[in-house]
Amino acid sequence: MKLFDLTSAYQNLLDLVAEGEDFEAALDELRGDIEDKAQSYAFVIRTLEAEEGAIKEEAKKLQAKAQHRSNAVARLKDHLQAGLEAAGVDTVKGSIFTVALQNSPPSVEVDYELGVQDRWRTATLRMPSLQVTPALLDFVTEMSVDKKAVLEAHKAAEDIGPGLTIRPGRHIRIR
């Protein structure tokens, strides 16, 4: 009997009580059925909880293993790139793979934070919008360099000033 059916059987039993009929035997039978069902539900719940914990633990192990592989790939690529650059070789064509040094978009490195011009700085503020006043610096939570704006200015041949360096990037490409 399903749990839903047991619930409606209890309702029928209540109807018998309301009518004044004998209900003791039916009550004992239903009580046994619902106790068995409750025990079965509890067993399944505990089993699923245990499986959930084991799955989460296995996921942590797999995540750590994936991170280890990712770190190994990065180290191998760095080592290969350093070797190709030291040898002055840009491309190696093999029977299976072609390994090449490829140019990446340039990146901005902040060499000296205090030397960066104010036009390249951005501020993150934390305050209610109704309280915007000239004293905004009291609310600054973070100062950073707008590297995207610096790169755009560099592409437009503008002077970016001291404290910043544009570094051309290179990376390994395996085809």
Strand, helix or coil for residue 20:
coil
Helix (H) or strand (E) holding 109: strand 98-110
124-168 pLDDT per residue, tens? 766 666 665 766 656 666 778 888 888 888 889 888 888 888 888
Two tokens, residue 38: 């409750």
Answer whether residue 9 shows pLDDT above 90.
no
Answer whether residue 8 shows pLDDT above 90.
no
Q: Which residues contact 8 (CB under 8 A, 6 or more apart)?
A: none
Between the alpha carbon of residue 20 and those of residues 12, 15, 23, the distances in Å are: 13, 9, 9
Asked whether the beta carbons of 62 and 68 are under 8 A apart, the reply is no
Q: What pLDDT, on a 0 to 100 scale, did the predictor assign at position 52?
A: 92
- Single pTM value for the model: 0.55
CA 3, CA 9: separation in Å to the nearest integer?
A: 10
